[in-house]
Amino acid sequence: MFKNQMQSLDKHVNMFMDYMFGPRDPRVKGWLMLDSYLPTFLLTFFYLITIWLGTKYMKEKPVFSLRIHLIIYNLGVMLLSLYIFIELVLASWEGRYNLQCQNLHSANDADIRVAKVLWWYYFSKAIEFMDTFFFILRKKNSQITFLHVYHHATMFNIWWCVLNWIPCGQSFFGPTLNSFIHVLMYFYYGLSTIPSMQPYLWWKKYLTQAQLVRTNLL
């Protein structure tokens, strides 16, 4: 019975999304987590409920150090961001993409290549939920601002929509720039967890300036 209810809910949710945005791009049909909106919605719900319950749970608990976990996590996200950046640069160059206005259907293999790496960009938004979970475990509640939570929750959902309706074309530009900034950002975060590296992080202000430039461009 529960399975039937979930299938019915899934059907109605996806019918609503199709009604709102129109026909989906057939090139991404069957790709992991794209055919149905429910996985993205449920993961976002899990993210939000974990923040609420996690901060309550950690209120009376000691702080977790997680230094090794943070180094591994930040290195992993940095490498994924580097892959996305390099692959988007190569794919858009191969497809002779236009920085100002790129046709969504340019009839070349580069479109599929861009779409595939943009899927990883979409999926990376779920991985980055861990940013907030680490804040919770380290009791860095001042970092869990409305803007922080709003950004993480909405980006994952926005890119589900992008992948279904505009998986290539001009969609490549934002992730290319953002992934480059993420390479620098997660590299910095990883180094900042190592006390001996603190004297070498003088370039933090330049990273902040780069983030502001990215925000203005996007």
Q: Which of 69, 105, 151, 152 is catalytic?
A: 151
Residue 169 has what DSSP assignment? G
Residue spans of alpha helices (H) in 59-193: 67-94, 109-127, 129-137, 146-165, 173-192
Going residue by residue through the chain, which has 218 residues, state the pLDDT in tens, using 9 for 90 and above.
Answer: 777 888 888 899 999 999 999 999 999 999 999 999 999 999 999 999 999 999 999 999 999 999 999 999 999 999 999 999 999 999 999 988 887 777 777 667 889 999 999 999 999 999 999 999 999 999 999 999 999 999 999 999 999 999 999 998 889 999 999 999 999 999 999 999 988 888 888 888 888 888 877 776 66
- Confirm if 136 and 54 have CB atoms less than 8 A apart: yes
> What are the structure tokens assigned to 73, written together?
């996590």
pTM for the full predicted model? 0.93
Q: What was the pLDDT predicted at 106?
A: 65
> CA-CA distance, 197 to 31, in Å (whole number)?
41
CA 78 to CA 70: how far, in whole Å?
12
User: How far apart are the two ends of the chain, measured CA to CA in Å?
Assistant: 45
182 is catalytic: no
